[in-house]
């Protein structure tokens, strides 16, 4: 439960927001407008979150949006950057371009599906179901984007499973008929501790007659690395110690400098055919490749409650380049037709994705087998045994076919409705190979430590309907429901020293899960004036259940014990009230809400002492907190924005398995050694990877200088609060951090140039712990994902 001070702080925040809204609205209602064509209010951003066109202020749900112009002006090129600018959304990632999203305390680290949905235009993008990188979706380059929308809270009616925490929508600029236009952008920068970075973007739009148009967008980005991979020999080990040996005092034999380089390229093309105002057909194709020399990970030594020592490098027993590749090709076909009584939309998509990564597992294999005895199927590792290089490679091919057909009504007599059907089929393979022929034995002749070929499939179908009715100019009732049905299966082949079988099994182990149900939504809004909207929402979201990997027998090293091979779905009921206010002729907007979510059957990841990860329904919990966004135009030259959120997320009723896990976790977050009693009673535990509080503040100045030149300056700061994470059987409370950025620019006619500094204070932030340790987890080493150091650069743009 929250303490008294937390309750008092939240109450003051909410009371202050409501007081400012009511008083400001009254002031605005009695003031006289002095706005002119040069003296206007804030920009109104059009959104289509409810599947019809509206604006943020007129949409009675919790939503944030940034236009393409705002993204460009702020220098935001990745979705993970946007997460710092909006309330209620946080990220967990190991490197740029591989991001897992969390919203309103509903973490994505458990199960086979995310809690935040991700759409590129009409295309739903799902992360690989069983990848050890986490529930990571692609992070597309945001050049030539119309806008990005972030919906908070369950979106189970219109967006289905995997959207119970929220939905991120990236909407690209579409081809334009009858217009030739283009733009080009070039960026160069330097990273402290690294070297030079550079990139370029190009957009071309050209007509093909009166009814066709093509739009092409090309991007190529390079980021230098700044983290060294350092090989030390002989590698310091102590089989009886839970702490890594003295790597700083061991001779260095090799250094791969600035190993975590990143290259990102992408190409996007859209072909529009529009024979009339009532029919359009859009075909799109996109390819993107992310290639990295290594993750943005720093080594650390574990301690009781907080990271005790975090090095500025990664230490290895062998000079192995730990590379990553993530390649995707996306295809979509969207047909829109006016049927008179409604608009028909058919969205067909297919995408294929291939992820690949490799890590040196020699240290984890050595420790995980320290108690093995020769002859029982395990390699003869005893004290004094030399290290042997063991590259662990993971290859994750996945593809998805989806189809949605929906009807959207025209506004007639206060009624508005959307109805449709959805189908998707996701296939994801987890292929991991870790072996060394030098350690072959008669029972495992090829020296395999762990090899798997796990084919994971999820088939989903749904019918949905959502509508609203305006009783009058003030009151509107919206309601909807989505009926869903899913079936998932895992066909698993796994073997090796640390696998469930010493050699390839004759047949695969098939684990299945299925479920069906309905997700409702009800929203009531009250608009006493065009400048104030009050609303209340009750909605439900869900996430499919799934299957675990097979564990070794509990009588055989590495002695794994856990629950069932399948886990059930989890669901979230969201209760929310909010307001949206425009003040002073739209020179000030205040949008705020407070929510309470009841989360049942929470899918959580358990890091077992044998080194495996296991997914299970951990029990029930809740999250709650306020969210606030303020945008203000202070004068014709000055504007400011602020956003903030407080999230209290806990598992309040853990089941027996998770209670046992918590009881045995060494030094759980906040230094509590045994948060759960061994018998009787209950306990609470923080939900992993949920940032407790966030805040963002930006100040922008823009004016004309030297006649027709436009000068602009922007300063911003983002505060990210503490969060909890688990690596092996140790819990960590990751510290809060604050980042600052600055940008100045000069523009005239069709060109502009900007000078920027990101991470001004050169802050080293610890974002997550060990989330990419896809070989066996061990207590001796934890790797922390971190952010990019101070980067100074210049960017030039030209439009034609």
Residues 647 and 690: beta-carbon distance below 8 Å: yes
Of the candidates 700, 699, 697, the one whose C-alpha atom is nearest the C-alpha of residue 720 is 697
pLDDT recorded at residue 309: 73
Average pLDDT, consecutive stretches of 10 residues, N- to C-terminus, the chain (800 residues): 39 40 34 43 88 90 93 89 87 78 88 90 90 82 94 90 91 96 98 97 96 98 96 81 80 96 96 97 97 90 57 90 93 97 97 92 72 42 62 92 96 89 95 82 82 92 95 95 93 85 85 90 96 96 86 64 79 97 95 97 80 83 96 95 95 81 54 45 75 95 94 96 80 89 96 97 90 66 90 97
Residue 343's nearest CA partner among 715, 48, 112, 653 is 48
Q: Give the Å distances, CA to CA, from 631 to 370, 581, 748.
A: 58, 11, 26
- Compute how many other C-beta atoms are within 10 angstroms of the C-beta atom of residue 570: 26
CB proximity list for 688: less than 8 A, separation 6 or greater: 107, 109, 604, 605, 723, 724, 725, 726
Whole-number Å distance between alpha carbons of 118 and 707: 44
CA angle 686, 688, 694 (to 5 degrees): 85
Residue holding tokens 């148009």?
213
**CB-hemisphere CA count at 13 Å for 140?**
26
CA 572 to chain centre: 18
The first and second tokens of residue 571, run together, are 């669901």
For the chain, the first-to-last Cα distance in angstroms comes to 58
Map tokens 């605005």 to a residue: 28
Residues written for the chain: 800
* CA–CA separation, 335 and 33 (whole Å): 44
Tokens 């590749």 locate to 325
Burial 677-690, CB ≥16 within 10 A → b, else e: eeeeeebbbbbbbb
What is the rounded CA–CA span in Å between residue 761 and residue 738? Answer: 9
Per-residue confidence (pLDDT) for residue 376, from 0 to 100: 39
- DSSP conformation class of 553: P
pTM score, whole prediction: 0.89
The structure tokens 């066109």 sit at 53
Q: What is the pLDDT of residue 382?
A: 45
Q: How far apart are CA 791 and CA 771, in angstroms?
A: 25
Q: Would you state the pLDDT for residue 559?
A: 56
Nearest to 428 by CA among 452, 404, 463, 462: 452
Q: What are the structural domains, with CATH classification, of the chain? A: 42-799 (2.40.170.20)
Burial 438-452, CB ≥16 within 10 A → b, else e: ebebeebeebbbbbb
What distance in Å separates the CA atoms of residue 724 and residue 296, rounded to the nearest whole number? 19
Residue 356: CB atoms within 10 Å: 16
Contact between 727 and 782 (Cβ < 8 Å): yes
The first and second tokens of residue 704, run together, are 């004309």
**The two structure tokens encoding residue 549:** 């990997």
């Amino acid at each position: 439960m929250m303490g008294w001070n937390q309750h008092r702080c939240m109450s003051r925040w909410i009371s202050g927001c409501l007081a400012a809204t009511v008083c400001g609205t009254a002031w605005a209602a009695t003031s006289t407008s002095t706005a002119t064509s040069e003296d206007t209010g804030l920009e109104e951003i059009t959104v289509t979150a409810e599947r019809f066109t509206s604006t943020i202020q007129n949409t009675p749900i919790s939503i944030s949006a940034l236009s393409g112009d705002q993204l460009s002006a702020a220098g935001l090129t990745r979705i993970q950057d946007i997460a710092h600018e909006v309330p209620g959304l946080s990220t967990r990632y190991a490197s740029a371009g591989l991001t897992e999203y969390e919203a309103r305390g509903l973490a994505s680290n458990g199960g086979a599906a995310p809690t935040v949905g991700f759409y590129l235009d009409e295309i739903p993008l799902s992360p690989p179901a069983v990848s050890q990188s986490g529930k990571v979706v692609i992070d597309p380059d945001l050049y030539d984007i119309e806008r990005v929308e972030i919906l908070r809270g369950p979106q189970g009616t219109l967006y289905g499973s995997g959207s119970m925490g929220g939905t991120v929508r990236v909407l690209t600029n579409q081809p334009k008929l009858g217009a030739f236009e283009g733009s080009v952008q070039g960026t160069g920068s330097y990273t402290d501790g690294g070297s030079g970075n550079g990139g370029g973007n190009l957009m071309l739009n050209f007509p093909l007659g009166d009814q066709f148009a093509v739009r092409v967008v090309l991007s190529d980005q390079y980021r230098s690395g700044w983290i060294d991979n350092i090989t030390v020999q002989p590698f310091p080990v102590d089989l009886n110690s839970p702490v890594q040996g003295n790597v700083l005092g061991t001779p260095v034999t090799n250094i791969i400098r600035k190993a975590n380089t990143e290259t990102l390229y992408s190409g996007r093309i859209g072909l529009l055919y529009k024979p009339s105002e009532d029919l359009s057909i859009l075909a799109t194709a996109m390819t993107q490749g992310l290639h990295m020399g290594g993750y943005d990970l720093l080594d650390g030594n574990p301690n009781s409650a907080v990271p005790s020592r975090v090095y500025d490098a990664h230490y290895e027993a062998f000079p192995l380049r730990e590379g990553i590749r993530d390649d995707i090709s996306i295809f979509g076909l969207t047909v829109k037709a006016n049927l008179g009584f409604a608009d028909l939309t058919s969205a067909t998509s297919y995408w294929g994705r291939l992820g690949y990564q490799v890590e040196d597992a020699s240290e984890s294999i050595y420790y995980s087998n320290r108690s093995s005895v020769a002859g029982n199927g395990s390699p003869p590792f005893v004290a004094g045994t030399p290290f042997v290089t063991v590259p662990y490679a993971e290859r994750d091919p996945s593809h998805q076919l989806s189809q949605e057909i929906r009807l959207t009504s025209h506004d007639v007599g206060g009624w508005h409705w959307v109805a449709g059907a959805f189908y998707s089929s996701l296939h994801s393979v987890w292929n991991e190979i870790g072996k060394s022929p030098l350690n072959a034995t008669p029972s495992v002749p090829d020296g395999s430590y762990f090899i798997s070929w796990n084919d994971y499939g999820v088939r989903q179908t749904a019918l949905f309907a959502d509508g609203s009715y305006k009783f009058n100019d003030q009151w509107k009732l919206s309601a909807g429901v989505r009926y869903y049905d899913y079936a998932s299966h895992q066909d698993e082949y796994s073997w090796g020293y640390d696998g469930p079988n010493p050699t390839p099994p004759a047949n695969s182990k098939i684990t299945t899960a299925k479920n069906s149900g309905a997700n409702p939504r009800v929203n009531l809004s009250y608009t006493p004036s065009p400048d104030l909207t009050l609303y209340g929402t009750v909605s439900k979201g869900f996430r499919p259940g799934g299957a675990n990997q097979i564990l070794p027998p509990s009588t055989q090293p590495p002695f794994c014990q856990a629950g069932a091979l399948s886990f059930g779905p989890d669901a979230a009921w969201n209760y929310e009230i909010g307001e949206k206010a425009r003040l002073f002729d739209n020179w000030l907007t205040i949008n705020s809400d407070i929510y309470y979510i009841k989360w049942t059957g929470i899918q959580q990841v358990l890091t077992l002492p044998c080194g495996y990860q296991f997914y299970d329904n951990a029990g029930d919990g809740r999250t709650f907190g306020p969210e606030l966004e303020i945008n203000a135009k202070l004068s014709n030259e000055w504007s400011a924005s602020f956003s903030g959120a407080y999230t209290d997320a806990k598992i309040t009723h853990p089941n027996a398995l998770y209670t046992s896990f918590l009881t045995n976790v060494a030094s759980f977050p906040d230094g509590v050694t045994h948060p759960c009693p061994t018998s009787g009673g209950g306990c609470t535990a923080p939900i992993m990877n949920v940032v407790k509080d966030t805040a963002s503040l930006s100040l922008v100045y823009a004016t004309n200088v030297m006649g027709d030149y436009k000068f602009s300056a922007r300063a911003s700061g983002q505060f990210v609060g503490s969060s909890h994470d688990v690596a092996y059987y140790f819990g960590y409370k990751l510290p809060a951090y604050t980042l600052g950025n600055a940008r100045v620019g000069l523009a005239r006619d069709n060109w502009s140039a900007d000078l920027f500094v990101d991470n001004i204070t050169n802050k080293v932030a610890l974002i997550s712990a060990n989330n990419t340790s896809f070989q066996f987890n061990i207590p001796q080493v934890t790797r922390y994902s971190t952010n990019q150091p101070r980067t100074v650069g210049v960017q030039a743009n030209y439009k034609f």
